[in-house]
Amino acid sequence: MGTVWDERFAGEEYYYGTEPNEFVRKQSADLPKGKALCLGEGEGRNAAWLASHGFEVVAVDLSTVGLRKAQALANRFNASISTVVADLEEYVPAKGGYDLVVITFVHLPPEVRTKVHRRALAALKPEGYLILQCFSKDQLQFQSGGPKDSALLVTTDDIRFDFLDGHILLLEQSEEDISEGAHHIGHCSVVSCLVQAGGDS
Residues that bind ligand SAM in the complex, under the rule CB under 6 A: 5, 16, 21, 40-42, 45, 61-63, 66, 87-89, 104-106
Task: Look at phi and psi of residue 146 and say left if phi exceeds 0, alpha if psi is from -120 to 50, else beta.
Answer: left
Q: Which residue number is nearest to ligand SAM in terms of Cβ?
A: 42
Tell me how far, at minimum, the Cβ of 30 lies from ligand SAM, in Å. Answer: 21
Q: What is the largest CA-CA distance in the chain?
A: 44
- What are the helix (H) ranges across 104-192? 110-122, 156-162
Which CB atom, from 109 or from 126, has the smaller least distance to ligand SAM?
109
Sequential DSSP letters for 72-94: HHHHHTT---EEEE--TTT--PP
Task: Provide, rounded to whole angstroms, the least separation between the CB of residue 146 and ligand SAM.
Answer: 8
Q: Is 173 left (phi over 0), alpha (psi -120 to 50) or beta?
A: beta
First to last CA, the chain: 35
Could you tell me the smallest distance in angstroms from the CB atom of residue 62 to ligand SAM? Answer: 4
Beta-carbon contacts of residue 31 (< 8 Å; ≥ 6 apart) = 99, 100, 129
Cβ at position 125, least distance to ligand SAM in Å: 22
Nearer to ligand SAM, 111 or 200 (CB): 111
| Shortest distance (Å) from residue 98 CB to ligand SAM | 16
What is the C-alpha to C-alpha distance for residues 145 and 182, in angstroms, rounded to an integer?
Answer: 9
Comparison of 88 and 197: residue with beta carbon closer to ligand SAM: 88
Q: Using the minimum distance from each CB to ligand SAM, give the nearer residue, 41 or 158.
A: 41
Contact criterion met (CB below 8 Å) for 34 and 99? yes
CB-wise, 86 or 168, nearer to ligand SAM? Answer: 86
CB of 178 to ligand SAM, least distance (A): 11
